[in-house]
Amino acid sequence: MSKKNTGKIGVLLVNLGTPDTPETPDVRKYLREFLLDKRVIDINPVGRFFLINGVIAPFRAPKSAVVYKQLWTERGSPLLYHGIDLKEKLQASLGSDYFVSFGMRYQKPSIKSALEELREQSVDRIIVFPLFPQYASASTGSAHDKIMEIIKDWWIIPSINFISNFCNDPGFIESFAELGRKYLAEDNYDHVMFSYHGLPERHILKGSDHGYCKLGSCCNSYNKRNQYCYRASCFETSRQLAAALGLREDQYSVAFQSRLGKDPWLKPYSDEVLKTYPEKGIKKVLAFSPAFVADCLETTIEVGEEFKEMFEHAGGEKWQLVESLNSNDTWVEAVKQIILKN
């Protein structure tokens, strides 16, 4: 017997994913699902299969497992429990007219299980909110792709609204700026770095609006032609954050981290840029990772620890990571307002 229609609006929060445990078999399983996604590694399917299963997953999994063990807490993976905390706080804030679910693009809880929760509630419509501030085909696009793949088999498909980009949303910007101001009030930093997850340059060019993108000054402004360009969105977030923090243009840098393989990725590279700071007299750096709304391996370990070690080895004195938004109250309110707008 079907449940009575409640008239609720379903909200689906989506993040990337995490291994079930930090042990090598689970990390390998996660890497395989993640890297076999055609939107992540966009090469010939046969070549992708052998590259991932024959080279990357077998050799990278043991190394990544070591890092995941450093990241793991008593509650498990930060990306997972911060997502659950956000879901619960958002549910309480939105109230009974909404039903909030949370799913991961890769591994558990799956997008499919999160969508089933919404279907069980007989929601009238669904607002899909991938937690990626800057649109990229490999993140937001992949989440939307998976959702459509699942929902196409439903007999009744409710109205669905996809939120694709919130790179300059005022609430999102203020949430990060609020965290940054706390550190800026505690010390005099010489420079601020905004470090974003990188992408192959070909991903940017493939999504270009009739050749608009030149991987250069075209990102100096944010407009209708580049609103779904990941690079342009990163620069827009940085400009908005810098303005909110009262930074001049010469007081901050934008760079890209986490590159993989030999193909050209978005430049400049964070790890190369930070090594040049000390010789320029930049000894104290405040680092943001505004592509991530929840702390994870790329923030806590890569930016927070590995970059810190590189910076100090190059002669730097202080490297401070600004934590991600996680489930702090300002961010919960920002998410709520984005939902209400949609």
Residues of the chain with pLDDT under 70: 1-6
d(CA 310, CA 320): 13
Burial class (CB within 10 angstroms; exposed 0-12, middle 13-18, buried 19+) of 19: buried
Query: What pLDDT sits at residue 6?
Result: 56
Six-digit token pair at 130? 């991938």
Question: Which residue ranges does the chain devote to CATH 3.40.50.1400?
Answer: 9-166+330-341, 170-321
User: Does residue 122 come out as left (phi exceeding 0), alpha (psi in the -120 to 50 range) or beta?
Assistant: left
Q: How far is CA 101 from CA 65, 113, 156, 285, in A?
A: 28, 9, 19, 37
Q: How far is CA 239 from CA 167, 199, 274, 283, in A?
A: 11, 20, 19, 23
Query: What pLDDT sits at residue 262?
Result: 84
Residues linked to residue 110 through DSSP beta bridges, in sequence order = 104
What 3-state DSSP class applies to 35?
Answer: helix
What 3-state DSSP class applies to 16?
Answer: strand
d(CA 61, CA 13): 27
H-helix segments, the chain = 24-35, 45-51, 57-71, 78-94, 111-120, 142-151, 170-186, 201-206, 230-245, 270-276, 307-313, 329-341
Q: How open is the CA angle 103-109-115, to the nearest 5 degrees?
A: 50
Indicate the pTM of the whole model.
0.95
What CATH topology corresponds to 170-321? Rossmann fold (3.40.50)
What pLDDT, in 10s, does the model give residues 301-316?
A: 999 999 999 999 999 9
Say whether domain 9-166+330-341 belongs to CATH 3.40.50.1400: yes
**Contact indicator for 55, 143 with CB cutoff of 8 Å:** no
Residues that constitute the known binding site for Fe(2+): 197, 298
Query: What pLDDT sits at residue 1?
Result: 35
Burial class (CB within 10 angstroms; exposed 0-12, middle 13-18, buried 19+) of 164: middle
Query: What pLDDT sits at residue 177?
Result: 98
Q: How far is CA 141 from CA 78, 271, 272, in A?
A: 23, 27, 29
d(CA 166, CA 163): 8
Six-digit token pair at 247? 């930074």
Residues that constitute the known binding site: 197, 298
Query: What pLDDT sits at residue 248?
Result: 97
